[in-house]
Chains A and B, each alone.
Chain A
Amino acid sequence: MRTLFEPKDSAVARELAQKVIKLADRCKEKTGVTPAFMEVCGSHTMALARSGIKLILQDHVRLLSGPGCPVCVTDQKQIDAMIEVAEAQNRIVCTFGDMMRVPGSKRSLLSAKTEGRDVRIVYSPLDAVRIAQENPDREVVFLGVGFETTVPVLAAALQLAELKQVENFSMWATTKLVQPVLRTLLSVKKVKIHGFLLPGHVSIVLGEQAYQFLADEFHMPGVITGFETVEMLSGIYKLLQMVLNDQPAILNNYKSVVRPDGNPIAQKIMNEFFTPCDETWRGMGMIPQSGLDIRDQYSHLNAKKKFNVTVGEPKKTLCRCGDMICGLATPDECILFGKACTPIHPVGPCMVSDEGSCSAYYAYMRKEG
């Protein structure tokens, strides 16, 4: 039997947290501003809040949540399009669970399901291919969202459908790439931060070299880190050291799983089926070449080509998810937070996903009942 947190780790964590606080205060003395770091992975957003790191560091280090949760950055129009796909007869729409409640312009996939459309949660895109095989007289469409972490699995589903000649399967891909969005944050959005806590999961696929441009072009340090309390604290500590010494570099603090060149097999299958495309990010707008779409030679598997779907521009809401994922606001600064927007009735996607910044704040940092 173990406990939720190993006591031997917690002594280390407490000591490390105190070291981080001391170093952060030295940084502030030297630079005159509180050091600010951004995490760009939904799992980090959640883990930083849940572990109590955000709370214990809040007066010493600003930890901002960047555009790292695939649910949070999916454009409303994509949800609207999927609902329209689901409206037609003889269709099955499959999706990852946390896309179900994301509000589109008028409703979510969950409300479409409640109204009788056949929308199913799958845990792997490969399950959607299987559903297509089991329902040969119906069109099965998978909503393919995700960063580079997920895209190889999406590619594997396309490969399986191709291999087994599953003609009634197709994918509506709306995937995102990490590098272009980091570039946009720094060069277009002018986000004021001192370093990045880089995503462990994405790095397994991309490798540590993928972020070298941050240090080379933007003088910005980054640490690839895992998700345990001690790993995240040590990542923040290393960022502070680099800021203090003004020696930005990209460090790999997650060497047990992240290799310099990443996972070549995953990259290969990704490149075989996908090609870069312009992509609209919720709250950020279109970023050139920031997503991946299915290559033309596999257009028979591309739901966007297979079905003629047109959706209008989504209406604007007061939701500040866009500011949130650019590190320009914190959840409690949004007037909807905790009132009109809660996990049960989310207005914006950052409240839907468990890994969204608003949801993490609501679950782990909210003071009131």
Chain B
Amino acid sequence: MDRKVTLAHGDGGELAHKLIQQIFVSAFGNQSESRFDATFLSLSSGKIAVTTDSFVVNPLFFPGGDIGKIAVSGTINDLSVAGAVPYCLTVGFIIEEGFPLADLRKVVKSLAVEAEKAGVQVVAGDTKVVEKGGADGLYINTTGIGLQREESTIDPSRIASGDAVLISGPIGDHGIAILAARGELGLMTDLESDCAPLNHMIDAVILGGVDVKMMRDPTRGGVATTLVELAEDFDAIIELEEEKLPIRDQVRGASDLLGFDPLYLANEGKVLFIVSESDRQKTLELLHQFPEGRDAAVIGRVTGKGVGQLLLETPLGSKRRLHRLSGMMLPRIC
């Protein structure tokens, strides 16, 4: 087989067949299903959850993951925080002509490994090859299908004053890891992206009987943007305590240097929980049992209902309002 992807790999002919058989089918299985134009799923009755996401990360390989891992975890986490049990995924690849086949194999393998860890099957896929310059290496789209969990207590209308706000771990790892991996900053760090499917950890919280009222994964825009949206969507006043936000030294150092606010950095393996006040300790204990939740912390609480807003109590005791991320984050010059 050629060592680079060519336009012929995407034309539906001999090479395309080889590519599908040797890379995709061998990684994802489902030999029988691949002979049809569509896949049939047998789902039990109940509500079905669907979500879709496209991944355009640069670089494709970074400490702690690659585009394949992120394509699985992003979609699995979106299903999980909605209160659904992830069931299966579809995967679409858009590949730039000339992309190394070895890299494609690596990405597909990582995607398959993560899907297996998460306990979901890849049930349909698609490959397109575009001319050199028409894409930046490789883009992936995944669509996830899940079933609403019967035990799910998620209902944002129940968010009430006193509810606790928790995060499953330190903030901003993915944002800084990606920036460092781009190699443009001259930053040397051992920091890894946090990207990971979190469905098992979320399952443990829900099955542990915690009264979870809302979950969100704070990806692009970070913890602040995610919570501002949540506060506004569900008319809640949320207060965070700056002192309680968990953060790694590397993220804090890089943010200070580059002028970033960690509250706005992307995360790919974190969940924000809003739970009843009485369940805050139980939630923490459940989260702490998982490697991804080892540093989980209570970071704030709901202080009222009304016109939704997010406030941050600074260590000085003053409270300032947090807003959505505005514009791009550009590294400062001095």
Which residues of A approach B to under 8 Å, CB–CB? 1-7, 9-10, 13-14, 17, 42-43, 46, 49-53, 55-56, 70-71, 96-101, 121-124, 127, 145-147, 149-150, 201, 227, 229, 342-344, 353-355, 362-367, 369
Does the CB pair B247–A2 fall under 8 Å?
A: yes
Write the nearest CB–CB distance from A323 to chain B, whole angstroms.
Answer: 23
Write the nearest CB–CB distance from A8 to chain B, whole angstroms.
Answer: 10
Question: How far is A150 from B309 in the complex, measured between Cα atoms in Å?
Answer: 39
Does the CB pair A9–B315 fall under 8 Å?
A: yes
Note all chain B residues with C-beta closer than 8 A to A124: 186
Does the CB pair A46–B243 fall under 8 Å?
A: no
Is B128 located at the chain interface by the 8 A CB criterion?
Answer: no
Question: How far is A355 from B329 in the complex, measured between Cα atoms in Å?
Answer: 12
Q: Which of A1, A52, A147, A344 contacts B170 (CB 8 A)?
A: A1
Question: How far is A46 from B256 in the complex, measured between Cα atoms in Å?
Answer: 11
Write the nearest CB–CB distance from A99 to chain B, whole angstroms.
Answer: 8
Does the CB pair B316–A14 fall under 8 Å?
A: yes
Does the CB pair A56–B317 fall under 8 Å?
A: yes
Q: B233-272 toward A: CB 8 Å interface, digit per residue (1/0)?
A: 0000000001111111100100010010110000000000
Number of B residues, CB within 8 Å of A: 38
Note all chain B residues with C-beta closer than 8 A to A354: 259, 329-330, 332
Which residues of B approach A to under 8 Å, CB–CB? 170, 184-186, 232, 242-249, 252, 256, 259, 261-262, 295, 297, 309, 314-321, 323, 326-327, 329-334
Question: How far is A98 from B330 in the complex, measured between Cα atoms in Å?
Answer: 6
Does the CB pair A355–B259 fall under 8 Å?
A: yes
Q: Which of A55, A70, A127, A343 contacts B184 (CB 8 A)?
A: A127
Does the CB pair A4–B330 fall under 8 Å?
A: no
Question: How far is A342 from B317 in the complex, measured between Cα atoms in Å?
Answer: 28
3 nearest A-B residue pairs (beta carbon):
A52-B314, A10-B315, A97-B330
Does the CB pair B334–A3 fall under 8 Å?
A: no
Note all chain B residues with C-beta closer than 8 A to A71: 333
Note all chain A residues with C-beta closer than 8 A to B314: 5, 51-52, 55-56
Task: Given A7-B243, A10-B315, A14-B315, check contact A100 B330 (CB 8 Å).
Answer: yes
Main secondary structure, interface of B, reads loop
Question: How far is A55 from B313 in the complex, measured between Cα atoms in Å?
Answer: 11
Does the CB pair A70–B316 fall under 8 Å?
A: no
Note all chain B residues with C-beta closer than 8 A to A363: 261, 323, 326
A-B contact pairs, 20 of them (CB 8 A): A1-B247, A4-B243, A4-B247, A5-B242, A6-B243, A17-B317, A51-B314, A51-B315, A98-B330, A123-B185, A123-B331, A124-B186, A145-B333, A354-B259, A354-B329, A354-B330, A355-B259, A355-B332, A365-B320, A366-B321
Note all chain B residues with C-beta closer than 8 A to A96: 331-333
Task: Given A1-B170, A3-B243, A4-B262, check contact A229 B320 (CB 8 Å).
Answer: no
Question: How far is A2 from B242 in the complex, measured between Cα atoms in Å?
Answer: 12
Does the CB pair B332–A42 fall under 8 Å?
A: yes
Note all chain B residues with C-beta closer than 8 A to A17: 316-317
Write the nearest CB–CB distance from A342 to chain B, whole angstroms.
Answer: 7
Chain A CB count within 10 A is highest, among B244, B248, B262, B317, for B317
Write the nearest CB–CB distance from A257 to chain B, whole angstroms.
Answer: 14
Does the CB pair A229–B316 fall under 8 Å?
A: yes
Q: Which of B246, B261, B320, B332 contacts A3 (CB 8 A)?
A: B246
Does the CB pair A146–B242 fall under 8 Å?
A: no
Does the CB pair B249–A70 fall under 8 Å?
A: no
Does the CB pair A367–B321 fall under 8 Å?
A: yes
